[in-house]
């Protein structure tokens, strides 16, 4: 099966499995989405969604958050891991949003990635799920599945994987597809649930694969 054929099959199956793609992180504003995505680094969405109601009750705008004591933020978000860095980033980026952007979250990758704690993946999620801009954020899960499904050859870093996925799929599918791959990975093709020979997509794309597929970490 050629790469183009694999991509077409994957797109069809994911659209069948997940015709709707609700954003996993619960939020009521772009600012809340930004903070939630920042917290999700090396943490599950489920845990983030348990923490953010308490945090956003304390402050859900950069105007309010900039005045919340760092220790208070730290105590609330501690279950998410990396709390010292994340709490400092939340307070500092809130101050920057107020001082530089009148309290609004900027709408470009370049500006978002200058904010404390905001990398390319976080910026991509905000741009795609928050502003509807075509983007293909790649986390470690998508990076792993892209390799298993033969959609990226390099496998050395998420930047290259992002480029390969953007080439493989139409731009208008990117925002939805990013979430569909995450949903499918959690349900059918997790790190423990499939080794490249178990789930429907893996078996269809590589029916003759006899040994577990070893993915390269980013």
pLDDT computed for residue 154 by the predictor: 65
pLDDT computed for residue 155 by the predictor: 66
Q: Catalytic one among 107, 139, 154, 210?
A: 139
pLDDT computed for residue 23 by the predictor: 92
Percent helix / strand / coil, the chain, rounded to 5: 60, 0, 40
Burial class (CB in 10 A: 0-12, 13-18, 19+), 199: buried
Q: Catalytic one among 3, 45, 95, 121?
A: 121
Q: Which percentage of the chain shows pLDDT scores above 70?
A: 99
pLDDT computed for residue 132 by the predictor: 95
- Whether residue 191 has pLDDT greater than 90: no
Contact status, residue 168 vs residue 158, Cβ threshold 8 Å: no
Please say if 139 is a catalytic residue: yes
pTM: predicted TM-score of the whole model, two decimal places? 0.93
pLDDT computed for residue 157 by the predictor: 86
- The model's pLDDT over 101-156, given as tens digits with 9 standing for 90+, comes to 999 999 999 999 999 999 999 999 999 999 999 999 998 889 999 999 999 976 67
Rounded CA-CA distance 121/158 in Å is 9
**CA angle 198–144–214, rounded 5-degree value:** 65
Is there a shared CATH topology between the 3-20+136-205 domain and the 30-130 domain?
no
User: Where residue 24 falls among pLDDT bands split at 50, 70, 90?
Assistant: very high
CA distance readout (Å), 78 to 41, 86, 99, 125, 175: 13, 9, 27, 22, 30
- DSSP class per residue in 101-122: HTTPPPSSHHHHTTSTT--HHH
Burial class (CB in 10 A: 0-12, 13-18, 19+), 205: buried
- Residue 108, C-beta contacts closer than 8 angstroms, at least 6 positions apart: none
What are the residue boundaries of the structural domains of the chain, listed by start? 3-20+136-205, 30-130
Please say if 50 is a catalytic residue: no
- Whether residue 218 has pLDDT greater than 80: no
User: Where residue 216 falls among pLDDT bands split at 50, 70, 90?
Assistant: confident
The per-residue pLDDT of the chain, averaged, comes to: 95
pLDDT computed for residue 109 by the predictor: 97
Say if domain 3-20+136-205 classifies as CATH 1.10.1670.10: yes
Contact status, residue 188 vs residue 147, Cβ threshold 8 Å: no
Q: What is the DSSP letter of 134?
A: -
- Tell me which fold the domain 30-130 belongs to: Endonuclease III; domain 1 (1.10.340)
User: Where residue 176 falls among pLDDT bands split at 50, 70, 90?
Assistant: very high
Return phi, psi of residue 68, to 5°.
Answer: -75, 130
pLDDT computed for residue 182 by the predictor: 96
Give the closest residue to 164 by CA, choosing from 182, 185, 142, 195.
142
pLDDT computed for residue 15 by the predictor: 97
């Amino acid at each position: 099966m050629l790469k183009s054929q694999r991509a077409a099959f994957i797109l069809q199956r994911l659209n069948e499995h997940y015709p709707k793609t609700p954003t996993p992180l619960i939020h009521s504003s772009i600012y809340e989405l930004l903070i939630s995505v920042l917290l999700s680094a090396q943490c599950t969405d489920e845990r983030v969604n348990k923490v953010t109601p308490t945090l956003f009750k304390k402050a859900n705008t950069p105007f309010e958050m900039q005045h919340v004591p760092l220790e208070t933020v730290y105590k609330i978000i501690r279950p998410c891991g990396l709390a010292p860095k994340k709490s400092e980033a939340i307070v500092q980026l809130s101050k920057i949003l107020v001082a530089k952007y009148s309290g609004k979250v900027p709408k470009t990758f370049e500006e978002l990635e200058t904010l404390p704690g905001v990398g390319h993946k976080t910026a991509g999620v905000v741009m795609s799920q928050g502003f509807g801009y075509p983007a293909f954020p790649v986390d470690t899960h998508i990076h792993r599945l892209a390799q298993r499904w033969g959609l990226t050859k390099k496998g050395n870093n998420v930047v290259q994987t992002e480029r390969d996925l953007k080439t493989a799929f139409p731009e208008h599918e990117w925002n939805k597809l990013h979430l569909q791959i995450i949903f499918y990975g959690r349900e059918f093709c997790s790190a423990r649930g499939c080794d490249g020979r178990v789930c429907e997509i893996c078996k269809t794309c590589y029916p003759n694969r006899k040994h577990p597929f070893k993915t390269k970490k980013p």
